[in-house]
């Protein structure tokens, strides 16, 4: 069958049956079209192990606009998309290359960056003033550290929340609902910010014009959040460039350091698999720290 029809059927399957987000379907479309165009593939029979191998060599040798090689993790996205496409075709009784014959590239362990606690405190205290912009930015920083929200989840929040209860229900990846909780500092910052608002905009956090007396121009977008975090990171004197996900990492690390169990942190972060949450444990393993303190360098004392 025409490979374009099969690809469309697969993307429809992702959206309807698997309930993937439009962004996920868009990414899969890009990855798969890159492979199909590279191999000049017209039907499902054209997907051969030789063409897959040639495409992987192409990815490995391909350069970014900055002249760097594509990261192994980036290369793996293309391979994962192709394997899943082949699984879909196999499930629908098409005779195609077995997805098991395509091995995933070995990728390095994921490295995360967190903000040192002293830097984090300076970052959270960086927004000063009683104007709407400063109060908004203060509330954004406090809610990010209080909840560990992803940037897209933060942007989608609406203003009508029960501050007394201090609990929010957010819709995360895979359209899954989870509860997150507001600290006292976050509740106070949101309350002060909302009292400054005199508009009917539904969004909790809004974009503002750059004028001296800013006007609200709709719901805030991820790029604006990124700029806000970067600005206050520099203002607070944080050495590394700060991005929103670093605050999420700091939230998770803070919970684990203070004794929270891994499964609870998994639920609070909205991770589908606990293996994703385990990336934080090497930063927070108290037993290893105590072992080092008890047994390392004893002859030097």
Q: Decide: helix, strand or coil at residue 106.
A: coil
DSSP 8-state class, residue 43: B
Q: Position of tokens 């991770």?
A: 271
Supply 218's token pair: 């709709």
Catalytic residue among 78, 248, 249, 251: 248
pLDDT at position 176 = 84
Q: Name the catalytic one among 51, 72, 159, 173.
A: 173
Q: Is the pLDDT of residue 125 over 80?
A: yes
Residue 291: how many CB atoms within 10 A of its CB?
11
CB 120 within 8 A of CB 239: no
- Per-residue pLDDT averaged across 102-131, rounded? 84
Q: Which of 271, 292, 296, 300 is catalytic?
A: 271
271 is an active site residue = yes
Residue 280 is among the residues annotated as catalytic for this protein = yes
Question: Has 227 been annotated as catalytic?
Answer: no
Q: pLDDT tens, 8-62?
A: 999 999 988 887 778 889 999 999 999 999 999 999 999 999 999 999 999 989 8
Mean confidence (pLDDT) of the chain = 89
Reported as a pLDDT band with limits 50, 70 and 90, residue 120 is: very high
Q: Tell me whether residue 173 is one of the annotated catalytic residues.
A: yes
pLDDT digits (tens, 9 = 90+) for 248-297: 999 988 888 888 888 998 999 988 888 778 877 766 665 566 666 676 66
- List 56, 150, 187, 249, catalytic entry: 150
The model's pLDDT over 186-197, given as tens digits with 9 standing for 90+, comes to 999 999 999 999
Domains of the chain, with CATH numbers? Answer: 3-101 (1.10.150.130), 117-239 (1.10.443.10)
Kindly report the pTM of this predicted structure: 0.69
Two tokens at 301? Answer: 């004392």
Q: Per-residue pLDDT tens for 65-97?
A: 888 888 888 889 999 999 999 999 999 999 999
Question: Residue 269, CB half-sphere, CA atoms under 13 Å: how many?
Answer: 28
With H, G, I as helix, E, B as strand and everything else as coil, classify residue 180: strand
Using DSSP bridges, classify how beta strands 206-208 and 177-181 pair: parallel, antiparallel or unpaired: unpaired
Residue 139 pairs in a beta bridge with: none
Is 300 a residue whose pLDDT tops 60?
no
**What is the tens place of the pLDDT at every residue in 96-110?**
999 999 988 776 666
292 is catalytic: no
245 carries an active-site annotation: yes
Tell me the pLDDT tens digit for each residue of 202-257: 999 999 998 888 899 999 999 999 999 999 999 999 988 999 999 999 998 888 88
The rounded Cα 82 to chain-centroid distance in angstroms is 22
Kind plus residue range of the DSSP H or E element containing 80: helix 72-91
């Amino acid at each position: 069958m025409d490979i374009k029809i099969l690809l469309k059927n697969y993307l429809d399957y992702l959206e309807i049956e698997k309930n993937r987000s439009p962004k996920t379907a868009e990414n899969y479309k890009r990855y798969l079209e890159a492979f199909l165009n590279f191999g000049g593939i017209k039907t499902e029979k054209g997907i051969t192990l030789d063409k897959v191998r040639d495409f992987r060599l192409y990815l490995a040798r391909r350069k970014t606009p900055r002249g760097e090689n594509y990261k192994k993790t980036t290369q793996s996205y293309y391979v994962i998309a192709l394997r899943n496409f082949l699984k879909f075709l196999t499930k629908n009784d098409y005779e195609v290359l077995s997805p098991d014959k395509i091995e995933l590239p070995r990728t390095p362990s994921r490295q995360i960056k967190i903000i040192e606690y002293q830097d984090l405190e300076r970052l959270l205290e960086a927004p000063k003033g009683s104007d709407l912009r400063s109060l908004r930015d203060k509330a954004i920083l406090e809610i990010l550290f209080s909840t560990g929200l992803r940037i897209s989840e933060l942007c989608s929040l609406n203003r009508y929340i029960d501050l007394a209860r201090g609990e929010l229900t957010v819709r995360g990846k895979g359209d899954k609902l989870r509860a997150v909780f507001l600290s006292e500092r976050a509740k106070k910052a949101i309350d002060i910010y909302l009292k400054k608002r005199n508009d009917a905009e539904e969004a909790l956090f809004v974009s503002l014009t750059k004028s001296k007396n800013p006007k609200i121009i709709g719901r805030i977008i991820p790029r604006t959040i990124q700029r806000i975090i970067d600005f206050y990171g520099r203002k607070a004197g944080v050495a590394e460039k700060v991005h929103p996900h670093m605050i999420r990492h700091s939230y998770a690390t803070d919970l684990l350091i203070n004794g929270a169990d891994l499964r609870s942190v998994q639920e609070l972060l909205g991770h589908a698999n606990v293996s994703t949450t385990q990336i934080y444990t090497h930063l927070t393993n108290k037993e290893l720290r105590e072992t080092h303190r008890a047994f390392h360098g004893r002859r030097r004392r």
